[in-house]
Amino acid sequence: LRPADARAVARTLGWCYGHDVPIVPRGGGTGLAGGAAPLLGGVVVSLERLRRVLAIEPGLWRLSVEAGVRTADVARLARESGLMFAPDPGAAEQSQIGGNVATNAGGPHAFKYGRTGAFVSGLEVALAPGELAQLGGAGWREAAGYDLTGLLVGSEGTLGIVTAVELRLLPARAGALALVVFTDDLQSAQSALLAILSSDARPAVLEFVDARAFQAAAATFPGEPPRGAASAARHAGPVLLLELDGPEVQRDRERGELEEALGDAEGLSVESVPPAPLWRWRDGMNGVVAGVRGGKVSEDIRVPRERLAEALEAVYAIGAELSLQACAWGHAGDGIVHATFLVDPATGDELERGLRAGERALELALALGGSITGEHGVGWVKRRFLAAQLGPAATAAHERVKRALDPRGLLNPGKNQPAVEDGGERAGSAGTRVPPVAGGGPG
Ligand SMILES: Cc1cc2nc3c(=O)[nH]c(=O)nc-3n(C[C@H](O)[C@H](O)[C@H](O)COP(=O)(O)OP(=O)(O)OC[C@H]3O[C@@H](n4cnc5c(N)ncnc54)[C@H](O)[C@@H]3O)c2cc1C
């Protein structure tokens, strides 16, 4: 269904509740965890017609929009008002702000400025059994009672349907400078990352692209990688991508601090690159890497930042064991690793092996003390790992929250909920019947 406004969304939810029919909210459909797919049937509610801009108040740093406004349009509206909406997930031309709230989407600039939730000051939400609620708003989250706005952020359509979002924006930045650090090997990249984190500089962006992914996209890299065979052999480690922002004097000071911090690390080469083409290039990484063999299985695991090199070594080992090419890139500053296994889906059991490798990557994240998802959410594809991630007490609390807000288990059933381990079909957390899941998810 494609309701025209918030009241129609609430009415749809009311009808579903009255008729015991599952209801699945869908934004731009760019999610990478299977969250917006109606895998247990029911009504899909697309928010695409809720596109109104409700208020722009530059003096108050505030923007209110309906949930179906595209992420790129939110960023543009902010920019045109002299303000900034910093979250920049990769599919911003297609994803919607409601979907960004539902997944608490991040992106490169989340390192300094936070993910979508850091910008949400209020929500309008359709709640079961079919009524609209206003949470927070007028520039701040509600201080009275529980932080229900925060609870809805990242809930992946399982607790309510976001129909409008109030954002608290930031003043626009004075400028930006991008730097690329070429490293020798995994250990030199790890040392460089820790040196940057402990320096006085506060980069807006701190990304990495490992040598294998870099090679796949090297032809369109907008800077000058170190040239020559000797240099290529030397700089065989991950490449770090940084952005410093603010007034020129601040950027220069921070650059000096970074160079000083990196000064002791051996074998580094630091290059300045224009930010816009660099981030466009980085944005294209997903498609370029997928093109190498025609497909890939990618998981957005998070690992402790001091264990990045260890995580990458383990990802390569998983690939080697399953005879798959493996590579990785991601948000180094937040420890988010897009652990990627290249597959040709038409060749033998490559896809199956890729899915097994994806599952092994999730287990790796847990073993390293990290998380099964850094930003894409649990959705359908990672639900089998959620209980291990949360532990028994938090899993029980998670399920009680779900039951309190969705007592009949009809809101996006099976998603972002711990799944059952016995391999057979049995009741899910809120009484919905959940079939066993085959494997990890495509990314
Ligand atoms: C090329 C590419 C790059 C990406 N890069 C990033 C990245 O850098 N960072 C990142 O965080 N993500 C990234 N993603 C994942 C995805 O873009 C984000 O998860 C995004 O926030 C999903 O928004 P959407 O509108 O497409 O939601 P959908 O895919 O439609 O839905 C995602 C989930 O949110 C729920 N949902 C959607 N709208 C609502 C609503 N109004 N109310 C309640 N629930 C709702 C759905 O039920 C589903 O569970 C990337 C995806 C692609 C394809």
Q: Is 170 helix (H, G, I), strand (E, B) or coil?
A: strand
pTM more than 0.85:
yes
The answer to whether 331 and 193 are in contact (CB under 8 A) is: no
Q: How far is the CA of 304 from the centre of ligand 1 (A)?
A: 24
One DSSP character per residue, 23-81 reads EEEESSS--SSSTTS-TT-SEEEE-TT---EEEEEGGGTEEEEETTSBHHHHHHHHHHT
Q: Is 28 in the pocket of ligand 1 (CB under 6 A)?
A: yes
User: What pLDDT was estimated at residue 425?
Assistant: 37
Pick the closest to residue 287 from 279, 296, 278 (CA basis). 296
User: What pLDDT was estimated at residue 347?
Assistant: 87
Q: Between 345 and 360, whose confidence is greater?
A: 360
Q: Is 36 in the pocket of ligand 1 (CB under 6 A)?
A: yes
Helices (H), strands (E): how many in the chain? 15, 18
What's the pLDDT tens digit per position in 16-30?
A: 999 999 999 999 999
* Residue 328 pLDDT exceeds 80: yes
User: What pLDDT was estimated at residue 277?
Assistant: 92
* Residue 427 pLDDT exceeds 50: no
Mean pLDDT of 290-317: 96
Distance of CA 406 to the CA centre of its chain: 25
Q: How far is the CA of 420 from the centre of ligand 1 (A)?
A: 25
Q: What percent of the chain has pLDDT over 70?
A: 91
Give the whole-angstrom CA distance, residue 246 versus residue 173: 6
Q: How far is the CA of 207 from the centre of ligand 1 (A)?
A: 20
**Nearest protein CA to atom 16 of ligand 1, as residue:** 31
Residue for token pair 């007592």:
407
What's the one-letter identity of residue 334? Answer: D
Residue for token pair 């940057």:
196
| Closest atom, ligand 1, to C-alpha of 125 | 42
* Residue 436 pLDDT exceeds 60: no
Q: Are strands 326-331 and 336-343 parallel, antiparallel or unpaired?
A: antiparallel
Give the whole-angstrom CA distance, residue 211 versus residue 190: 14
Mean pLDDT of 141-158: 92
Distance of CA 141 to the CA centre of its chain: 23
What's the pLDDT tens digit per position in 252-272?
A: 999 999 988 888 666 567 788
Q: Between 437 and 144, whose confidence is greater?
A: 144
Which H/E stretch holds residue 389? helix 386-390
Q: How far is the CA of 234 from the centre of ligand 1 (A)?
A: 39
What's the pLDDT tens digit per position in 389-410?
A: 999 999 999 999 999 999 999 9
Q: How far is the CA of 71 from the centre of ligand 1 (A)?
A: 10
One DSSP character per residue, 349-382 reads THHHHHHHHHHHHHHHHHHTT-BS-SSS--TTTT
Q: Is 340 in the pocket of ligand 1 (CB under 6 A)?
A: no
One DSSP character per residue, 275-336 reads HHHHHHHHHTHHHHHHHHHSEEEEEEEE--GGGHHHHHHHHHHHHHHTT--EEEEEEGGGTE
The answer to whether 374 and 337 are in contact (CB under 8 A) is: yes
Give the whole-angstrom CA distance, residue 315 versus residue 337: 10
What's the pLDDT tens digit per position in 208-237?
A: 999 999 999 988 898 877 665 445 555 689
Give the whole-angstrom CA distance, residue 161 versus residue 146: 18
Average pLDDT, the chain: 90
Read off the pLDDT band of 117 (50, 70, 90). very high
* Residue 335 pLDDT exceeds 70: yes
Asked if residue 22 has a cis previous peptide bond (ω within 30° of 0), the answer is: no
* Residue 431 pLDDT exceeds 50: no
User: What pLDDT was estimated at residue 270?
Assistant: 76
Give the whole-angstrom CA distance, residue 209 versus residue 181: 10
User: What pLDDT was estimated at residue 375?
Assistant: 92
Give the whole-angstrom CA distance, residue 354 versus residue 349: 9
User: What pLDDT was estimated at residue 77?
Assistant: 97
User: What pLDDT was estimated at residue 442?
Assistant: 33
Give the whole-angstrom CA distance, residue 354 versus residue 295: 10
User: What pLDDT was estimated at residue 264?
Assistant: 63
* Residue 377 pLDDT exceeds 90: yes
Give the whole-angstrom CA distance, residue 125 versus residue 10: 8
The answer to whether 312 and 362 are in contact (CB under 8 A) is: no
User: What pLDDT was estimated at residue 272?
Assistant: 83
